[in-house]
């Protein structure tokens, strides 16, 4: 054992040289051998400005090491028989409604933890400038559900953080607690990981390392530490903060506990090899000898042939320094130079992805077009005209590094292409946020002005609407005069969507349950319809059918002069002829059936004006 410790200690000068080459500020190192900690050493500084050295209790970002803990937490739920490894995600999470049928119907617990879902990834989208996490925990499921299937399910290994987010949702659904609460109660506290957290350490926690990026000349520059998990998102996939002292406990415990787990699901990390190289629920498992090169591991195993890590590091740094110039060359290679084809203001607006979880604000500031991811000031970047309606946002490597951005993306990542509609108006933008992911469309927010309407008789019910400052119109579908007055008050403004929503139910509906309407009597032993009057019919036809016709006619001129106008008429299942099994509600049913027919007829009449119609039943 003494010989082994001597071999590890002798690595000190090489470790310091590697840190110098890569611009690493500080390092805490620990080694576990046969399940027991045997070595610990510290290098550099945890805080360069104050020249503070790290210790075994210095807290560093552990990031993706949390995957092993998340997977272990799920494993405990399997042992609790709450789920199995083959449980379908949709059976645990009904809200998992991803648009791809295969992913929605077939994805299992094991698929999530083995990186074999084939789901799209998005690290370069949601990990932003200065370690911002740009998807909120509140919107995480909406964002997950917007992902596509890029690779065959279970077809190959493809590292992806998003499935681990789903695993966190599974933990929460099964336990009724947050994933971090469960992980702490089931793993961190029992093992005694006292200096391990799943969010940014509080300010009163001492001995926390500062975080740094590396400039072109190899010197560290301070950046904000990882914020993964602070708002929930990225916690189960990358939210670990820990120290070497805790990691040694953690690794010792897992090594001792792993003997009965080697037969469980694993997926190859690359092409099939003679010896195993697989990903096993948060751990990379490599059968040696194999491609698992590491300076300390070679010393631990005392292998006769050693890799030259100094040379490898120097080569890596040199290649990284060329990244900016290589990317610029790639951008310029196919560039078709020319003037900006339109006023910069035409590009401005707020653009949303399909999940409505991610927005991009585009604006002009001091004559320069900018964009800001999620509308954040810290995510604001100038846009340089590239060609036609395409702009770039790449900056010199040192500028990106100081602002805490990754600097390893290709040319497509730095291009934003604005797209116009059939009338030549900018309608959306396209952006490739990650390698291998198709361009994502972000639709321009239209900025609709919404008018609410009310009858004079319902002025008290509309009080909150009026006091809120919302735009309103007095409009009664039972009276042609206020309909005409409302149109005149609206004036010549463009009207994109007209929603006709009105109805008058049977007078008996207020007296008994609607489900009994088919058996109502008039009180004299005769069916209820016997007492139905002409006025009963006309009141309901006036509102449900004639009223929507009058409104459509009154606002016709404002509708026909916009692109893609739409009229929505709120109907009811009660208006269905084939679906009328219960009977009753005679006047209301027939008035809604008339609404459906008027909708169909007006759709044909106004087709030359390209006005679209739809009738829908609420609920």
Q: Quick check: 517 pLDDT over 50? A: no
- CATH class assigned to 451-616: alpha beta
pLDDT score at 471: 73
> CB–CB of 146/354 below 8 Å?
yes
pTM over 0.75: no
pLDDT score at 175: 97
First to last CA, the chain: 72
Q: Quick check: 378 pLDDT over 70? A: yes
Paired tokens of 533: 């009057």
**439 vs 512: which has the higher pLDDT:** 439
Query: Could you report the per-residue pLDDT of 478-514, keeping only the tens digit for each?
Result: 788 888 888 888 888 888 899 988 766 655 433 332 2
For the stretch 312-321, contacts whose Cβ atoms lie closer than 8 Å and that sit 24 or more positions apart, written own/partner, are 313/18, 313/21, 313/22, 314/21, 316/22, 317/21, 317/22, 317/218, 320/407, 320/408, 321/216, 321/397
* Separation CA 576–CA 279 (nearest Å): 56
* Residue boundaries of the structural domains of the chain: 1-44+293-321, 57-287, 335-444, 451-616
The torsion angle over the Cα atoms of residues 300, 301, 302 and 303, rounded to 10 degrees, is -140
CA-CA distances (angstroms) from residue 285 to 7, 83, 155, 173, 281? Answer: 25, 25, 19, 30, 10
For the domain 57-287, what is the CATH superfamily, name and number? DD-peptidase/beta-lactamase superfamily (3.40.710.10)
pLDDT score at 516: 29
* Separation CA 91–CA 103 (nearest Å): 13
CA-CA distances (angstroms) from residue 452 to 293, 470, 473, 617, 619? Answer: 67, 7, 6, 20, 20
Residue 30, φ and ψ in degrees, nearest 5: -140, 150
pLDDT score at 513: 29
For residues 366-384, b (16+ Cβ closer than 10 Å) or e, as one string?
Answer: eeebbbbbbeeeebebebe
Q: What is the DSSP string of 563-608?
A: SS-EEEEE--GGG-STT--S---HHHHHHHHHHHHHHHHHHHHTGG
Q: Quick check: 538 pLDDT over 70? A: yes
* Separation CA 494–CA 564 (nearest Å): 11
Q: Which residues contact 476 (CB under 8 A, 6 or more apart)?
A: 455, 456, 457, 482, 483
Query: Could you report the per-residue pLDDT of 247-293, keeping only the tens digit for each?
Result: 999 999 988 887 666 555 556 556 555 566 777 788 877 777 666 66
Angle at Cα 88 formed by Cα 83 and Cα 93, nearest 5°?
85
Residues listed for the chain: 619
Per-residue confidence at 615, pLDDT binned at 50, 70, 90? confident
Which stretches of 188-308 are DSSP H helices? 189-191, 235-238, 244-257, 295-301
Residue 116, φ and ψ in degrees, nearest 5: -125, 20
Residue 18, φ and ψ in degrees, nearest 5: -60, -40
- CATH class assigned to 335-444: mainly beta
SS3 498: strand
Residue 612, strand partner residues? 566
Pairing of strands 26-33, 36-44: antiparallel
Of 110, 227, 92, nearest to 172 by C-alpha is 92
Q: Cis peptide leading into 289, omega within 30 of 0? A: yes
* Separation CA 531–CA 542 (nearest Å): 20
Mean pLDDT, range 63-89, rounded to an integer: 96
Per-residue confidence at 110, pLDDT binned at 50, 70, 90? very high
Per-residue confidence at 530, pLDDT binned at 50, 70, 90? confident
* Separation CA 166–CA 127 (nearest Å): 17
Per-residue confidence at 583, pLDDT binned at 50, 70, 90? confident
Q: Quick check: 523 pLDDT over 50? A: no
Q: Quick check: 522 pLDDT over 50? A: no
129: how many CB neighbours lie within 10 A of its CB?
20
* Separation CA 146–CA 122 (nearest Å): 11
- The dihedral region occupied by 585, where left means phi > 0, alpha psi between -120 and 50, and beta the remainder, is left
Q: By percentage, how much of the chain surpasses pLDDT 70? A: 89
């Amino acid at each position: 054992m003494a010989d082994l410790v001597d071999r590890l200690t002798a690595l000190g000068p090489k470790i310091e040289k590697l840190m110098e080459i890569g611009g690493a500020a500080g390092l805490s190192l620990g080694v576990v051998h046969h399940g027991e900690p045997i070595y610990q050493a510290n290098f550099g500084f945890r805080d360069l400005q104050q020249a503070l050295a790290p210790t075994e209790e210095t807290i560093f970002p552990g990031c993706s090491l949390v995957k092993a803990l998340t997977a272990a937490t799920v494993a405990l739920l399997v042992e609790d028989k709450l789920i199995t490894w083959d449980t379908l995600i949709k059976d645990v999470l009904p809200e998992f409604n991803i648009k791809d049928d295969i992913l929605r119907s077939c994805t299992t617990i094991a698929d999530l933890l083995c990186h074999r879902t084939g789901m799209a990834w998005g690290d370069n989208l949601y990990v932003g400038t200065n370690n911002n996490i740009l998807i909120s925990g509140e919107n995480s499921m909406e964002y997950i559900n917007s992902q596509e299937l890029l690779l065959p399910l279970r077809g190959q290994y493809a590292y992806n953080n998003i499935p681990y987010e789903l695993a966190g949702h599974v933990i929460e659904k099964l336990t009724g607690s947050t994933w971090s609460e469960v992980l702490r109660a089931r793993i961190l506290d029992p093992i005694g990981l006292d200096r391990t957290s799943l969010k940014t350490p509080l300010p009163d926690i001492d001995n926390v390392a500062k975080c740094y990026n590396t400039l072109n000349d190899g010197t560290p520059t301070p950046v904000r530490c990882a914020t993964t998990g602070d708002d929930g998102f990225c916690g189960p996939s990358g939210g670990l903060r820990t120290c070497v002292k805790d990691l040694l406990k953690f690794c010792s415990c897992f090594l001792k506990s792993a003997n009965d787990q080697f037969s469980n699901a694993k997926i190859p990390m690359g092409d099939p090899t003679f010896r195993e190289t697989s990903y096993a629920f948060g751990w990379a498992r490599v059968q040696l000898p194999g491609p698992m090169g590491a300076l300390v591991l070679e010393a631990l195993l005392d292998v006769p042939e050693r890799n030259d890590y100094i040379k490898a590091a120097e080569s890596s740094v040199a290649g990284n320094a060329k990244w900016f110039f290589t990317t610029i060359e790639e951008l310029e290679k196919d560039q078709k130079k020319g003037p900006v084809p339109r006023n910069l203001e035409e590009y401005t607006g707020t653009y949303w992805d399909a999940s409505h979880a991610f927005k991009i604000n585009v604006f002009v500031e001091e004559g320069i077009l900018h964009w800001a991811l999620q509308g954040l000031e810290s995510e604001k970047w100038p846009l340089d005209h590239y060609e036609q309606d395409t702009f770039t946002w790449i900056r010199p490597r040192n500028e990106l590094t100081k602002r805490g951005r990754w600097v390893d993306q290709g040319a497509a990542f730095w291009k934003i292409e604005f797209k116009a509609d059939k009338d030549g108006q900018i309608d959306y933008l396209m952006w490739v946020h990650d390698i291998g992911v198709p361009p994502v469309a972000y639709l321009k927010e239209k900025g609709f002005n919404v008018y609410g309407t009310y009858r004079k008789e319902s002025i008290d019910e509309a009080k909150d609407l009026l006091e809120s400052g919302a735009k309103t119109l007095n409009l009664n579908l039972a009276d042609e005069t206020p309909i005409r007055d409302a149109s005149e008050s609206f004036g010549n403004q463009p009207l994109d969507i007209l929603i006709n929503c009105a109805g008058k139910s049977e007078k008996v509906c207020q007296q008994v349950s609607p489900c009994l309407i088919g058996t109502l009597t008039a009180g004299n032993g005769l069916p209820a319809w016997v007492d139905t009057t002409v006025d009963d019919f006309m009141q309901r036809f006036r509102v449900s059918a004639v009223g929507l016709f009058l409104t459509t006619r009154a606002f016709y001129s404002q509708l026909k002069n916009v692109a893609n106008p739409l009229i929505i008429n709120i109907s009811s299942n009660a208006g269905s002829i084939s679906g009328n099994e219960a009977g009753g509600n005679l006047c209301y049913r027939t008035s809604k059936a008339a609404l459906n027919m008027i909708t169909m007829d007006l759709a044909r009449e106004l087709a030359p004006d390209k006005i679209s119609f739809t009738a829908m039943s609420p609920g």
